[in-house]
Protein backbone atom coordinates (compact mmCIF):
# COMPACT_ATOMS: atom_id res chain seq x y z
CA UNK A 1 0.00 0.00 0.00
CA UNK A 2 1.24 3.47 -0.76
CA UNK A 3 0.87 6.10 1.91
CA UNK A 4 1.29 9.83 1.76
CA UNK A 5 2.88 11.37 4.83
CA UNK A 6 1.93 15.03 4.90
CA UNK A 7 4.16 17.29 6.95
CA UNK A 8 2.45 19.99 8.95
CA UNK A 9 4.29 22.52 11.07
CA UNK A 10 4.26 26.18 11.96
CA UNK A 11 5.74 28.05 9.05
CA UNK A 12 6.88 30.81 11.39
CA UNK A 13 8.86 28.43 13.55
CA UNK A 14 10.37 26.44 10.68
CA UNK A 15 11.12 29.70 8.88
CA UNK A 16 13.05 30.91 11.92
CA UNK A 17 15.51 28.02 11.78
CA UNK A 18 19.05 29.17 11.12
CA UNK A 19 20.65 27.75 7.96
CA UNK A 20 22.71 25.44 10.18
CA UNK A 21 19.63 24.14 12.04
CA UNK A 22 17.78 23.70 8.77
CA UNK A 23 20.65 21.75 7.26
CA UNK A 24 20.90 19.55 10.36
CA UNK A 25 17.19 18.68 10.25
CA UNK A 26 17.34 17.98 6.51
CA UNK A 27 20.36 15.73 7.03
CA UNK A 28 18.56 13.70 9.70
CA UNK A 29 15.45 13.42 7.53
CA UNK A 30 17.70 12.48 4.61
CA UNK A 31 19.01 9.54 6.61
CA UNK A 32 15.46 8.25 7.11
CA UNK A 33 14.76 8.71 3.39
CA UNK A 34 17.96 6.87 2.49
CA UNK A 35 16.88 3.89 4.60
CA UNK A 36 13.54 3.79 2.82
CA UNK A 37 15.21 4.10 -0.56
CA UNK A 38 17.48 1.13 0.16
CA UNK A 39 14.35 -0.89 0.97
CA UNK A 40 12.82 0.41 -2.29
CA UNK A 41 9.92 1.95 -0.41
CA UNK A 42 10.66 5.61 -1.10
CA UNK A 43 8.42 7.46 -3.53
CA UNK A 44 8.26 11.15 -4.30
CA UNK A 45 9.11 13.70 -1.61
CA UNK A 46 8.72 17.46 -1.67
CA UNK A 47 9.37 20.49 0.45
CA UNK A 48 7.08 23.40 -0.33
CA UNK A 49 7.88 27.11 -0.49
CA UNK A 50 6.06 29.25 2.11
CA UNK A 51 2.27 29.50 1.85
CA UNK A 52 2.66 33.16 0.90
CA UNK A 53 3.95 31.92 -2.47
CA UNK A 54 0.72 29.97 -3.07
CA UNK A 55 -2.35 30.76 -5.10
CA UNK A 56 -5.56 28.75 -4.83
CA UNK A 57 -7.95 27.99 -7.66
CA UNK A 58 -11.43 27.99 -6.16
CA UNK A 59 -13.85 25.77 -7.95
CA UNK A 60 -17.49 26.64 -8.41
CA UNK A 61 -19.63 27.95 -11.20
CA UNK A 62 -16.79 30.33 -11.93
CA UNK A 63 -13.19 29.39 -11.38
CA UNK A 64 -11.45 31.96 -9.23
CA UNK A 65 -7.77 32.35 -8.51
CA UNK A 66 -7.28 33.50 -4.93
CA UNK A 67 -3.93 34.61 -3.54
CA UNK A 68 -2.68 32.53 -0.65
CA UNK A 69 -3.07 28.95 0.57
CA UNK A 70 -6.36 27.03 0.61
CA UNK A 71 -6.68 27.05 4.39
CA UNK A 72 -5.46 29.61 6.90
CA UNK A 73 -4.42 27.36 9.75
CA UNK A 74 -2.13 27.48 12.74
CA UNK A 75 0.08 24.89 11.13
CA UNK A 76 0.75 24.69 7.44
CA UNK A 77 1.34 21.92 4.94
CA UNK A 78 5.08 22.28 4.35
CA UNK A 79 5.89 19.12 2.44
CA UNK A 80 5.09 15.46 1.84
CA UNK A 81 6.50 11.99 1.27
CA UNK A 82 5.10 9.01 -0.59
CA UNK A 83 6.21 5.71 0.92
CA UNK A 84 5.39 2.07 0.33
CA UNK A 85 4.29 0.35 3.54
CA UNK A 86 2.86 -3.08 4.32
CA UNK A 87 0.13 -1.59 6.46
CA UNK A 88 -0.87 1.41 8.53
CA UNK A 89 1.38 0.37 11.40
CA UNK A 90 4.38 0.36 9.08
CA UNK A 91 3.41 3.79 7.77
CA UNK A 92 3.08 5.13 11.31
CA UNK A 93 6.52 3.67 12.03
CA UNK A 94 7.98 5.69 9.13
CA UNK A 95 6.27 8.85 10.39
CA UNK A 96 7.70 8.10 13.83
CA UNK A 97 11.20 7.89 12.36
CA UNK A 98 10.64 11.24 10.64
CA UNK A 99 9.36 12.71 13.90
CA UNK A 100 12.44 11.55 15.76
CA UNK A 101 14.64 13.02 13.02
CA UNK A 102 12.74 16.30 13.23
CA UNK A 103 11.45 16.44 16.81
CA UNK A 104 9.74 19.77 16.47
CA UNK A 105 6.10 20.55 17.04
CA UNK A 106 3.66 19.99 14.22
CA UNK A 107 2.26 16.76 12.87
CA UNK A 108 2.54 14.13 10.19
CA UNK A 109 -0.76 13.21 8.57
CA UNK A 110 -0.73 9.67 7.21
CA UNK A 111 -3.07 9.02 4.32
CA UNK A 112 -3.33 6.00 2.06
CA UNK A 113 -3.03 6.81 -1.61
CA UNK A 114 -5.89 5.93 -3.95
CA UNK A 115 -4.01 6.71 -7.16
CA UNK A 116 -0.29 7.24 -7.64
CA UNK A 117 1.30 8.41 -10.85
CA UNK A 118 5.02 8.76 -10.35
CA UNK A 119 5.23 11.20 -13.26
CA UNK A 120 8.27 11.81 -15.37
CA UNK A 121 10.25 14.38 -13.37
CA UNK A 122 13.66 13.59 -12.08
CA UNK A 123 15.73 15.45 -9.55
CA UNK A 124 15.64 18.96 -8.19
CA UNK A 125 13.18 21.71 -9.18
CA UNK A 126 13.88 23.22 -12.57
CA UNK A 127 16.58 25.85 -12.59
CA UNK A 128 15.14 29.30 -11.98
CA UNK A 129 17.75 30.88 -14.20
CA UNK A 130 16.82 31.72 -17.72
CA UNK A 131 13.12 31.89 -16.87
CA UNK A 132 11.08 34.79 -18.16
CA UNK A 133 8.60 36.88 -16.23
CA UNK A 134 6.51 39.60 -17.72
CA UNK A 135 6.00 42.54 -15.44
CA UNK A 136 6.40 45.12 -18.13
CA UNK A 137 3.27 46.09 -19.94
CA UNK A 138 1.18 44.13 -17.47
CA UNK A 139 -0.63 47.30 -16.52
CA UNK A 140 -1.45 48.34 -20.03
Partner 1 sequence: MTIANIDAAWIDAALTAARPQAVAALLRYFRDLDTAEEAFQDACLRALKAWPKNGPPRDPTAWLILVGRNAALDGVRKQSKSAPLPPEELISDLEDAEASLVDRLDGEHYRDDVLRLLFICCHPDLPATQQVAVALRIVSGLSVRQIARAFLVGESAMEQRITRAKARIGAADVPFGAPDLEERAQRLNTVAAMVYLVFNEGYSAGGQELLTRGALCDEAIRLARLLLRLFPGEPEVMGLTALLLLQHARAPARFDADGAVVLLEDQDRGLWNGRMIAEGLALIDKAVRHRRPGPYLVQAAIAAEHDRAERPEDTNWARIDLLYGDLEQLAPSPVVTLNRAVAVAKVAGPEAALEMIEPLAPKLSGYFHFFGLRGGLLLQLGRRDEARVAFDQAIALANTAAEAAHIRLHLDRLMKEGVGG
Q: How far is the CB of 124 from partner 1 (least distance, A)?
A: 9
- Conformation bin of residue 69: beta by default, left when phi > 0, alpha when psi is -120 to 50: beta
Question: At closest approach, how far in Å is the CB of 137 from partner 1?
Answer: 9
Please report how close the Cβ of residue 115 comes to partner 1 at its closest, in angstroms.
27
Q: Which is nearer to partner 1, 71 or 115 (CB)?
A: 71
DSSP per-residue codes, 75-112: SEEEEEEEEE-SSHHHHHHHHHHHHHHS-SSSEEEEEE
- Rounded CA-CA distance 28/69 in Å is 28
For partner 1, the closer of residues 84 and 98 by Cβ is: 98
Measured over the CA atoms of residue 32, residue 53, residue 19 and residue 126, the dihedral's sign is positive
Query: Which residues in this chain contact partner 1 in the complex, by CB under 8 A?
Result: 10, 12-13, 15-17, 21, 49-53, 55, 65-68, 72, 74, 99-100, 103-105, 125, 128-131, 133-136, 138-139
112 touches 84 (CB < 8 A): no
**Residue among 49 and 114 whose Cβ is closer to partner 1:** 49
Closest separation between CB of residue 84 and partner 1, Å? 24
Amino acid sequence: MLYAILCYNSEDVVGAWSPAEDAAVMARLGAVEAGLAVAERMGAAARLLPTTAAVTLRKGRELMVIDGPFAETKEQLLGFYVVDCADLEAAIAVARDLAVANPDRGAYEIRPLAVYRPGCLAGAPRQVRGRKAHVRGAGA
